[in-house]
């Protein structure tokens, strides 16, 4: 942690102003000068990689309440629009597959690909898609939630960086995992970190990104900490803060 100006990480795209994990949200993040775009990835029943956060599909399939994304084929999911829950003006947007996202964004766009499950097939499919598209993640990385998946990722893919999310771990447990497993990138839930815990993570040779921040006071705090990256739902807001006169 030593960056004077942190990376702007668009959390699920510009998800404060657009339906999350949609091409519209991702494109707005590009236009808003985000350094990295983060998205959530899952597998459908027919093993297609889609960008979607919720495991349960209640937000888009009220009539199929309780069902999971992997209960549906890509064809079934594509029948549902996913924009109107956010705002009626976005009605008609569809769940994108990873291939669509890569095809529609500039080739040099940096990405954080968050794996929403520990299925090896999901990881393999993501890596295969990146190889087919000859896509580098740039400043980004593949983001996972548990150590076993982290180790599997390291074994399967030496080309792409791997990051670990704090999730339900305490700051102390997170630091211990970083040290024990020589983690290179860690995403922390920064608001419950105490000064001594900040000091410990600062002293480690690890890239630290903060999830998440949308307000000026939070931006100021994290910039003061020299955090490496800030996950935000409003990348334009963070860009304007970081580049103010």
- Active-site residue list: 11, 53
Return d(Cα 144, Cα 189) in angstroms, integer: 14
Helix (H, G, I), strand (E, B) or coil at 98: helix
Confirm if 224 and 203 have CB atoms less than 8 A apart.
no
Run of H or E including 165: strand 162-165
Confirm if 59 and 85 have CB atoms less than 8 A apart.
yes
Residue 239, Cα to own-chain centre: how many angstroms? 18
Residue 112, Cα to own-chain centre: how many angstroms? 5
CA torsion, ordered 72, 76, 82, 84, to nearest 10 deg = -130
Burial code (b: 16+ CB inside 10 Å, e: under 16) for 19-57 equals: bbbbbbbbbbbbebebbbbbbbbbbbeeebbbbbbeeeb
Return d(Cα 234, Cα 12) in angstroms, integer: 10
Q: Count CB-CB contacts under 10 A for residue 18.
A: 23
Q: Name the phi and psi angles at 180, rounded to 5.
A: -60, -40
């Amino acid at each position: 942690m030593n960056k004077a100006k942190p990376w702007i990480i668009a959390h699920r795209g510009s998800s404060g102003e657009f339906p999350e994990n949609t091409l519209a949200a991702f494109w707005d993040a590009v236009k808003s000068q985000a350094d990295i775009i983060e998205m959530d990835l899952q597998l459908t029943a027919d093993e297609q990689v889609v960008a979607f956060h919720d495991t349960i599909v209640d937000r888009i399939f009220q009539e199929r309440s309780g069902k999971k994304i992997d209960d549906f084929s890509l064809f079934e999911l594509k029948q549902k629009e996913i924009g109107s829950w956010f705002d009626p003006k976005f009605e008609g947007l569809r769940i994108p597959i990873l291939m669509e996202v890569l095809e529609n964004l500039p080739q040099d766009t940096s990405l954080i690909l968050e794996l929403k499950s520990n299925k090896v097939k999901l990881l393999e499919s993501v890596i295969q898609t990146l190889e087919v598209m000859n896509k580098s993640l740039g400043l980004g990385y593949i983001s996972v939630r548990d150590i076993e998946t982290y180790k599997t990722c390291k074994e399967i893919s030496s080309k792409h960086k791997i990051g670990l999310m704090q999730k339900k771990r305490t700051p102390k447990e997170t630091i211990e995992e970083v040290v024990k497993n020589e983690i290179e990138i860690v995403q922390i839930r920064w608001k419950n970190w105490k000064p001594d815990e900040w000091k410990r993570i600062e002293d480690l040779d690890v890239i630290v990104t903060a999830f998440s921040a949308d307000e000026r006071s939070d931006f100021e705090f994290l910039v003061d900490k020299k955090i490496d990256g800030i996950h935000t739902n409003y990348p334009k807001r963070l860009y304007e803060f970081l580049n103010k006169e």
